[in-house]
Amino acid sequence: MAAGKKTIIFDLDGTLIDSLEDIAVCMNQVLKELNLPIHKIEDYRYFVGGGISVLVDNALKGYSNEIKEEITKKFKVLYDQQLHSKTKPYDGVYELLDELEKLDINLAILSNKPHEFTLQYANSLFDKYNFKEVHGQKQTIPKKPDPIAAINIAKSFDANCEEVYFVGDTMVDMQTAKNAGMIAIGVLWGFRDEKELSEHGADFLITHPLEILKIINDK
């Protein structure tokens, strides 16, 4: 049984991986194909975090649901081909995971990215690590900031929510942690700023992945 071990749930986009450019380039390519206005890569920092429907809503403000559905389909096809063009883990992420494995910590990923893409990244970039629970956005379960998926992960490890660390880079992640009664660690290398993370309940704010070691060792 895993009871007694520490547990960390990681967000994916903007926390473990720098995926902004691939997401932005793919969405812009799809928008261009349909002669729709494109966006600056930096704007996508605020489009990503709430799942694909929020990404599409943000990229297509004021357009019909029909166009949004078409864009969603085309984006998924293209993104599936280009997932790995530029996306890579942030500096320090592999070093952190190496240390966490030595400490025998329960590791999980919970993303609002479609489940199939979340799994592809876990299986390619993080296959050497023992992420026992990996969940992206699924039809069957409410997405973050609903806490249910995070709570289910804690249960699967037999961990108490108040002892689980939830690490993320957006208000959605901080809200998820708080809604689940978990410890919220906000990362400042991702898509959003310190103000957003502290206003939405971050218990800790960090600028480098290895700072997580100090937080969990001080507890």
Ligand X SMILES: O=C(O)COP(=O)(O)O
CB of 14 to ligand X, least distance (A): 5
Indicate the helix (H) or strand (E) that contains 59. Answer: helix 52-59
Residue 202 CB partners (closer than 8 Å, separation 6+):
174, 184, 185, 186
Of 7-15, 59-67, 74-82, 203-211, the segment contacting ligand X by CB under 6 A is: 7-15
Backbone φ, ψ for residue 34 (5° rounding)? -100, 15
Rule CB under 6 A: say whether 106 interacts with ligand X: no
Of 73-81, 108-116, 148-156, 202-210, the segment contacting ligand X by CB under 6 A is: 108-116
Q: Which is nearer to ligand X, 56 or 100 (CB)?
A: 56
Rule CB under 6 A: say whether 145 interacts with ligand X: no
Residue 76 CA to residue 34 CA, distance in Å, equals 15
Rule CB under 6 A: say whether 176 interacts with ligand X: no
Contact status, residue 108 vs residue 97, Cβ threshold 8 Å? no
CB of 156 to ligand X, least distance (A): 19
Rule CB under 6 A: say whether 18 interacts with ligand X: no
Residue 2 CA to residue 105 CA, distance in Å, equals 9
Rule CB under 6 A: say whether 11 interacts with ligand X: yes
Q: Is 63 left (phi over 0), alpha (psi -120 to 50) or beta?
A: beta
Which one among 51, 145, 186, 209 touches ligand X, defined by CB under 6 A?
51
Query: Where does this chain bind ligand X (CB under 6 A)?
Result: 11-14, 48-51, 55, 111-113
